[in-house]
Structures are given as C-alpha cells and as structure tokens.
Structure 1
Amino acid sequence: MPVQPEGTPCWADAIFPDLEAAKRFYGELLGWTFGDSAADFGHYTQAYVDGKTVAGVLPRIPGMDGAAAWNLYFASPDARVTAAKIVDNGGTLAMEPMDVADVGTMVTAEDPGGVSFSVWQAGTHPGFEVTGEPGAYAWADLCTREVAETDAFFPSVFPFKVQRIEAEGVDFHLWDVGGDPVIGRLRMTDEFPPGTPPFINVHFTVADVDTAVATVERLGGESVYGPMDSPFGRFATVRDQQGAMFSVIDLQTRVGEVPAFS
C-alpha cells in the first residue's frame, strides 16, 4: 500500500514476554506467517498474510515491565513535527523521534489521559500492505474515560474531523481524514473490567467471529465482550494468552442501520 495520509492508522505491533508463544497464537488464530527476527532491531519480527505485511511482534527486553499490549501507529509526513505538536498539546513522549535505519522514523507517546500510541514517518516501510481482509488490520477504537482531554488532544495533533454519534447512552466519535473515517473514540463505561487502563483497541479481520473466539479460548486466551452484531460487522473483544487485548471482526456480517453522525 502507498504511504497513508497524515493521521491514518498505518501499523500495529506488540511486545510479548514469550515471542514464540505469541507467534503460535496469532499464527493459528489469524493465519499469520512470520519473517526472520531482526537481531539488530531487538528481534523485531514481521507478520504476513499471503505474503503481505500486516503487523509486527517482538520480545520484551529483559528488565522491561508492563503487560503485553497492541500498539497503533498513526502516519505522519514528519515525525519530529508531530512530536512537537504532541508536547505542545499536553501529551508526553515515551520515545523521542528515532530513525530506524532507512525503514522510517518513529515516536512513542501518551495523550494527556494516558492513552499510548505511536507515530510513523514512512521510509522504505509504509506500513500495512493489506487491510480489511482476513488476518489483517480492520479498525481501531480509542477507549478512554478522560474523553475531554482526548477529544481536545488528538484533533490538535492530527488533521481529524470529528463526527459525533447521535444515539442515547453512547458516547462515540468518528475521526475522519479527508472524509474517510479512520478511527473511533469510545467513552469507557462500567462494561469494561475494573481497572482497565485507557487503550487503543485494535481490530483484526476474521471470516467468522464465533469460530475466532472459540479458537482464542482453546489457545489459552479469554473472551472479554461479545460476540455482538453491529452495523459495522460482527465483533468480539478478547485477550490473548499473554494478556494483550484486541478485537476480531467479521466485516461482511452487518446487522442494523448505521447510526446518524453529526
């Protein structure tokens, strides 16, 4: 795929305590195959579907704390300019702009409400080579309780146009880039397990959600929410066997009308 417009989710990766276990889990669940681990880059390993890059996995560095979690990257034409915007708008940099050889430049940051995310300025690696197909990235929702801070921050850093859902009891926004919805923002409610920190929930495409959830549970993961039908696809939120939360979605099975946005 070509380099994505600024603010578009363009890549996802995760750090795991047990890299080989993660490869077995996602290989069976999503049909991923894996390239060689790059020793020069912390044994970073790319995942593929039908020979096209869809995500990255890497092992935890000795001494590193924190649970396994998926991390989403937003495209930027200039990572250093975006890093300055992050700081100017109250965010914090967990990693200053770093050139990854000729592959690209990355930044890792948090918004003022504690949502972790990354920025990617493409070099030779533009990001996802395929999306919306089984095994590949489909969508992401930014889930937070600190909606005021998040709503002020992200459209100031990226060129997002905000659309608000018109549905009682639901606090959900769509953020558009150039007229195309690229990510959702969801207010976390009591439906989320107590103590769940804010996070970006990455969705991967599957052909059958119910089968995918059964596979997750058989492989030692757990179901968190769903399966549930929606106008956008049948989906479920799960955790892998190392604790990383994500969703699976069947984009072809849609039930109900898309709600109005304003």
Structure 2
Amino acid sequence: MDGVEPGTPCWTDLATPGLDDAKRFYPELFGWTGRVSDEPTAGGYTTFLKGGRAVAGVGPPAAPEQVPIWSTYVATDDADLAATRVEAAGGQVVVSPFDVFEQGRMAVLSDPAGAVFSVWQPMAMRGAELFNAPGSMCWNELVTPDPDRAKEFYALVFGWHPEEQQAGPVTYTGWRCGARIVAGMMPQLEPLPQDLPAYWTVYFAVEDADATAARAAELGGTILVPPRDNPAGRSAALRDPQGALFSITALR
C-alpha cells in the first residue's frame, strides 16, 4: 500500500450539521482553502487544503442526531478484517465497511469504552498529503477512563504496542506501530463531556498556540483548556462554534 502505512492515522474529517459555518471557521483559523466534491450524493463533502495539499475534510453527519465530531482515520489494507477484529476484541461496528466512491473503503468503529474511530482502506485517495506542519494534523490521542482495556483492544485490532512514560502525575501511553510511535493515550483526568464517554481527539499543528486559541474564540469557538506547555510543545483544547472538539499544538 502506497502512502501512510497500515496502523497509522492517515486522515481526519469533521461531521457537522453546520457545514457552512465550518467552512467559514476553519479556513479563517488555519488558512485552509476548500475543494467541494462534485459527487451529487456526497452532501457537499469538502476537502480542506493547506498550500494546495489535502489536510482534512468536512461533511454532513450520518444521522441528524449525531453530535459534531472530528474523526481519526487509521490506515488499513483490509477494512472488513479490521471491523471483524474490532467485534472480536469487544468493540462495536458503528457503520459497516463500505466503499466511498472510488476513493477508498472505510468503516466507523468504537472501542469498548465508546471511543469512536474510523479505518481507511485507500484506493484513489491515500489520506492526508501534509502532516506535522502548521495547519495540518500532527497527533491523535485517545482519552479514556479504561486505559488497561484499551491496551488490549488496540493491540488486537492494529497490533499496537503501548509504551508508557510518566508525565507529571499522569502515566502517558504512546502507541508503537513498527518503528514509530503513531498516536497516544491518556487516562481520563476529569469528568468527560456527556456526549463523549471516551474519545479520540485530533491535534492540528500551529505556529502560535496562544494566538490561535484567541483567534478561535474571536471566531465563535470556545477554549476548553487554555494553552499550556507539555513535552511536545504548547497545546490547547478547543471547541468550534458547533461544539466539535479539537486540539492545537505549537510543536517544539
């Protein structure tokens, strides 16, 4: 498989009923431009570009009652097998594997604690074309009340190996896939939002975390966790005007 290796986060997109608002908010925040799908049944799905390269997407929710959410997509060479492994490991298949036109094959899944993620088996569309640069995805992190169960689950589904390190009072877990740490996990430190029993959060790289957080608030978003330093850089947790959670990091 060309592009992102299997077991590695490869794409992110936002499902939101506020499609027009998202197409205003995020380009103003990150300097993105939008490319709307010409497929009549795509519901106006828009690929966000940074410097002409695909970095993320946005589209309407699958169901009217779905809360606005950013999704982490993990690359796979067999979406059907990944869904089978999820069920065998105690998770749920939220949306069974299906083809997205000629772009790829995907499924929406959840782990035993309710954290939702997707898998992407690429065809024409390989995933994001830019990572770890300002305005692009730079990290994916699971926040869960049951880290021990998560370690078993993701090992069975993706072959990830947990590597732990102390980050102050918290034990932080890096997920190793082959030679690389591809994502992270931290335990629930405070009550999670009611609409997120456990969740995967997407981090976007920025030049200046403080300025970007302030700009997000000016544009109608909310600062959930103000910018603070961590080993990777300086990060903040935000919500967009429709309530979708995402994070930003000024990388060291």
1:177 matches 2:177: yes
Match of 2:205, as an amino acid? T
Gap change, CA 1:92 and 1:191, over 3 Å in 2: closer
1:64-79 equivalences under 5 Å are 64-79=64-79
Aligned residues of 1:5 and 1:177 also touching (Cα < 8 A): no
1:94-243 equivalences under 5 Å are 94-167=94-167, 169-190=169-190, 196-243=196-243
Shift of 1:192: 5.1
Match of 1:186, as an amino acid? M
- Aligned residue for 1:85? 85
- Aligned residue for 1:259? none
Aligned residues of 2:135 and 2:205 also touching (Cα < 8 A): yes
Distance in 2, Cα, partners of 1:7 & 1:249: 23
Higher strand share: 2
Gap change, CA 1:191 and 1:171, over 3 Å in 2: farther
1:8 matches 2:8: yes
Aligned residues of 1:6 and 1:159 also touching (Cα < 8 A): no
Query: RMSD value over aligned CA atoms?
Result: 1.7
Shift of 1:149: 2.1
Query: For structure 1, which runs of at least 5 residues remain unmatched after alignment?
Result: 253-262
Distance in 1, Cα, partners of 2:11 & 2:167: 31
The number of equivalent residue pairs is 251
Identity of aligned residues (%): 36
Distance in 1, Cα, partners of 2:233 & 2:167: 18
Query: For structure 2, which runs of at least 5 residues remain unmatched after alignment?
Result: none
Shift of 1:4: 1.5
Gap change, CA 1:124 and 1:196, over 3 Å in 2: closer
Q: Note the alpha carbon deviations across 1:52-76, whole angstroms, 9 max, x for none.
A: 0001101235x61022110000010
Gap change, CA 1:118 and 1:193, over 3 Å in 2: closer
- Aligned residue for 2:34? 34
Tell me the secondary structure at the aligned position of residue 243 of structure 2.
Answer: coil
* TM-score (ref. length: structure 2): 0.94
Tell me the secondary structure at the aligned position of residue 166 of structure 2.
Answer: coil
Q: Note the alpha carbon deviations across 1:168-225, whole angstroms, 9 max, x for none.
A: 5213210011121111011011275577521111000111111101111001111111
- Aligned residue for 2:46? 45
Distance in 2, Cα, partners of 1:160 & 1:8: 10
Distance in 1, Cα, partners of 2:215 & 2:233: 19
Aligned residues of 1:75 and 1:121 also touching (Cα < 8 A): yes
Structure 1 stretches of 4+ moved >6 Å: none
Aligned residues of 2:113 and 2:197 also touching (Cα < 8 A): no
Tell me the secondary structure at the aligned position of residue 171 of structure 1.
Answer: strand
Tell me the secondary structure at the aligned position of residue 139 of structure 1.
Answer: strand
